[in-house]
Chain A
């Protein structure tokens, strides 16, 4: 137990300040909190590894006011990875329907944007655009955590979709 406490004390704060502050992106600082529901729509799990990295103390997305939640009923942002496999389409749409409005859809990774390396398969929809057009897209295979964090900020700041 002492070793653990000693290690915690010695480690200190690892969190880095964001590479680009919100001011630089042209918006005021984010002073609220928002909840994210992640759905893996058939990814290779590379994007998930970078989502995990968002939660590590170095990127620490939660210290910027964002948290991943289990229930879509609590979520403001639907974060989607993977090319939208045909077998995940229904679960993805159901999750989106279960979220309260206003809500945003964030496509993370080349797959979610356009199918990536899996484009053209009989088993996928080549990304979100024909299923749930994303409000914000973060390209990359997988995108680095900092880019995803910025995408999350943009998703929250983007104008609501016309209803």
Chain B
């Protein structure tokens, strides 16, 4: 049969789904040529690759974000497939996603030259998620991970990790340096791989929701919200206005708490130790309010499929408004202290530059993208209720250094505080959770949320009996390693912690 290789979707033809306010569409094809052609067309339209994964059908799925909405491009493979076409020539960041699929399923990405293992650290006798009893033959593996070598006079390597000097997640960084200057940085992750994809399979809905909250502890709200939205789309559940308000509020709280912690840590890493003492008590106060009002210091399990675990009472609104006022005053002062501090600005400026061109090429979104001229923010680009009622403003900067990422965070804190205030004062009242129907047949759904780092995507397949068939949750962390690798060369080794912190990728969310 002659395979049709023409792309079959363009944004003009329209998105057929609108759940939670973000237009999206699902394109399914069995033709590898069409899959590639469609991806190429979308990329030419300026689309970004958010994540790429495989499920056990098997099908390769690429989540591609356009200005107008989200395209879920899905390539169905035959059961005995041994390979799939690589998108690495279209989206440079596809490489590690495809290496992950190769490690987990044994499927070979056709056209990918870099077939080094990524998630596989040489401990598995066969690909752990391979559906066939006789897994496809694996490519040979070398004992030691073959880092790309930089040759030249005076070049040497510094290996760092997986265990780092501070309280931080594990991962390996390989620096090639001359003197103090970094020529190349290569990351090696997978140390926190917990087999999340397999763990999701067959879980009851409440248990799966608990797992979704723990993909990355700092993004508990965003991950559970993306997961819940996916479930709600799959089962066609309407969410009450009250619940949408509480969810929006929780999401902004998570953003403010994380930005505060990052700003404190950035000041500390730049040599202003008192920064930790200034910012972290603010975060601690937020955690305590979270515990007393929502039942968990980090808001784990506060968003559940169909609703939220705690509603809002008058008294709670009052407490939150008081906190809002206090934070506004404190952060205003702290921002001025940072802006006036010459030594601090000296460390921030021109450090770890991610140029707008590179950020665009890699498809970086979120805080890091917005600091490098990439004006993407789901809260602003789409008319998602209730946030769009209060006209959120876009944080945007064009320099792309650590100082830009600091500025973006301050801007977003103030904007989040403003949105929080607006949400609290116009709260429409009772927040009723929806009941979850039992699907008669397997259903699939997608959810997309602007978390504190950037877009968080949730995808589910839910089976009769409200059992989870499969799920995938991804925040932008995997892409941020590429951003980090692009912005560290040319800087001093000693500036690396500062640059890393300014991107703040989650190791857990990228290793899954």
A-side residues, CB < 8 A to B, are 1, 3-4, 7-8, 11, 14, 38-53, 55-59, 68, 70, 82-83, 85-88, 91, 95, 116-118, 120-124, 141-142, 144
Min CB–CB distance A126 → chain B (angstroms): 11
Q: Are A85 and B191 in contact (CB under 8 A)?
A: yes
**Docked complex Cα distance between A87 and B214 (Å):** 19
- 13 cross-chain CB contacts under 8 A: A1-B340, A1-B341, A7-B334, A40-B192, A43-B217, A52-B167, A70-B165, A85-B193, A87-B121, A87-B123, A91-B191, A123-B198, A142-B298
Q: Which of the listed residues A42, A86, A87, A121 has the most CB atoms from chain B within 10 Å of its own CB?
A: A87
Given A45-B217, A45-B507, A70-B165, residue A118 in contact with residue B194 (CB < 8 A): yes
Q: Is the CB of B199 within 8 A of A121?
A: yes
| Smallest beta-carbon distance B287→chain A, Å | 7
Contacts of A8 in B (CB 8 A): 274
| Chain B nearest Cβ from A51, distance in angstroms | 5
Q: Is residue B50 within 8 Å, beta carbon to beta carbon, of the partner chain?
A: no
CA–CA, A151 and B168, complex, Å: 20
CB distance from B213 to the nearest CB of A (A): 8
Q: How near does chain B come to A96, taking the closest CB pair, in angstroms?
A: 11
Please name the residue on chain B nearest to A86 by beta carbon: B123
Given A1-B340, A7-B337, A88-B192, A48:B169 Cβ within 8 A: yes
Asked if residues A3 and B337 are in contact (CB atoms below 8 Å), the reply is yes
Complex CA–CA separation, A52 to B268 (angstroms) = 13
Given contacts A48-B169, A122-B195, A123-B128, contact A4 B508 (CB under 8 A): no
Q: How far is the CA of A72 from the CA of B44 in the complex (A)?
A: 51
Interface segment out of the listed B9-17, B131-139, B275-283, B442-450: B275-283
B residues contacting A by CB (< 8 A) are: 121, 123, 128, 162-163, 165-170, 190-196, 198-199, 207, 210-211, 214-218, 220, 261, 274, 276-278, 280-281, 283-284, 287, 291, 297-298, 300, 333-334, 336-337, 340-341, 506-508
Q: Are A43 and B191 in contact (CB-based, < 8 A)? A: no
Q: Which B residue's beta carbon lies closest to that of A41?
A: B170
Question: Whole-angstrom distance from the CB of A29 to the nearest CB of chain B?
Answer: 25
Residues of A within 8 A of B261 (CB): 49, 52
Which partner residue on chain A sits nearest B122 by CB separation?
A: A87
Q: Is the CB of B214 within 8 A of A117?
A: yes
Assess the B337–A4 pair: CB atoms within 8 A: yes
> A68: shortest Cβ distance to chain B, in Å?
6
A80 to chain B, nearest CB (A): 11
- Neighbouring A residues of B340 by C-beta, 8 Å: 1, 3-4
Complex interface: chain B residues within 8 A of A46 (CB): 214, 217-218, 220, 298, 300
Give the nearest-CB partner of B330 in chain A: A7
In order of increasing CB-CB distance, the 6 nearest A-B pairs are A46-B217, A123-B195, A56-B280, A70-B165, A121-B195, A42-B192
Contact (Cβ within 8 A) B195 A49: no
- Whether A48 and B195, one on each chain, are in contact in the complex, defined by CB atoms closer than 8 angstroms, is no
Inter-chain CA distance A64–B505, complex, in Å, is 32
Nearest chain A CB to B512 CB, angstrom units: 9
- For residue A70, which residue of chain B has the nearest CB? B165
B163 touches A95 (CB 8 A): yes
Considering only CB atoms, which chain A residue lies closest to B278 in the complex? Answer: A7
Contact B192 A85 (CB under 8 A): yes
Which residue of B193, B198, B506 is within 8 Å of A45 (Cβ)? B506
Given A45-B508, A46-B214, A85-B191: 7 more A-B contacts, CB < 8 Å: A1-B341, A42-B193, A46-B218, A49-B261, A53-B287, A55-B280, A123-B194
Contacts of A141 in B (CB 8 A): 214, 300
B501 to chain A, nearest CB (A): 12
The answer to whether A45 and B128 touch (CB under 8 A), given A40-B170, A122-B195, A144-B297, is no
Given A40-B170, A44-B508, verify A49-B193 contact (CB < 8 Å).
no
Q: Out of B123, B191, B198, B337, which one reaches A42, CB within 8 Å?
A: B191
- Give bound CA distance, A142 to B218, whole Å: 12
Across the interface, do A47 and B192 meet the contact criterion of CB distance under 8 Å? Answer: no
Return A13 CB to nearest CB of chain B, in Å: 10
Known: A7-B333, A45-B506. A51 touches B214 (CB 8 A): no
Q: How far is the CA of A55 from the CA of B168 in the complex (A)?
A: 13
Q: Which of A4, A70, A86 has the most chain B CB within a 10 Å cutoff?
A: A4
A87 close to B217 (CB less than 8 A): no
Cβ–Cβ contact A87 & B287, under 8 A: no
A144: B residues at CB distance < 8 A: 291, 297
Query: B192 to A56, Cβ gap below 8 A?
Result: no
* Residues of chain B within 8 A of A56, CB atoms compared: 276-277, 280-281, 283-284
Known contacts being A3-B336, A53-B284, A57-B281, is A91 close to B194, with CB within 8 Å? no
Which B residue sits closest to A56, measured CB to CB? B280
Residues of chain A with a CB closer than 8 A to B334's CB: 7
Q: Nearest residue in B to A45 (C-beta to C-beta)? A: B217
Whole-angstrom CA separation of A22 from B297 in the bound complex: 25
A47 near B217: Cβ-Cβ < 8 Å = yes
Nearest CB in chain A to that of B344: its residue: A4
B280 pairs with A57, CB closer than 8 A: yes
Q: Which residue of A lies closest to B296 (CB)?
A: A141
Known A-B contacts A43-B217, A45-B218; A87 and B192 likewise in contact (beta carbons under 8 Å):
yes
Report A-chain residues with C-beta under 8 Å of the C-beta of B123.
86-87
Kindly list chain B residues whose C-beta atoms are within 8 Å of the C-beta of A88: 162, 170, 191-192
Measured in the bound complex, the distance between the Cα atoms of B336 and A52 in whole Å is: 25
The answer to whether residues A58 and B281 also contact, given A46-B220, A49-B217 and a CB cut-off of 8 A, is: yes
B135 smallest CB distance to A (angstroms): 14
CB of A136 to closest CB in B, whole Å: 18
Do B280 and A48 have beta carbons less than 8 Å apart? no
Contact between A11 and B278, CB atoms less than 8 A apart = yes
B191 and A87 contact, CB distance less than 8 A: yes
- List B contacts of A1 (CB < 8 A): 340-341
Residues of the A chain whose Cβ atoms lie less than 8 Å from the Cβ of B277: 11, 14, 56-57
The distance in angstroms between the C-alpha atoms of A38 and B168, with both chains bound, is 9
Whole-angstrom distance between the Cβ of B202 and the nearest chain A Cβ:
11
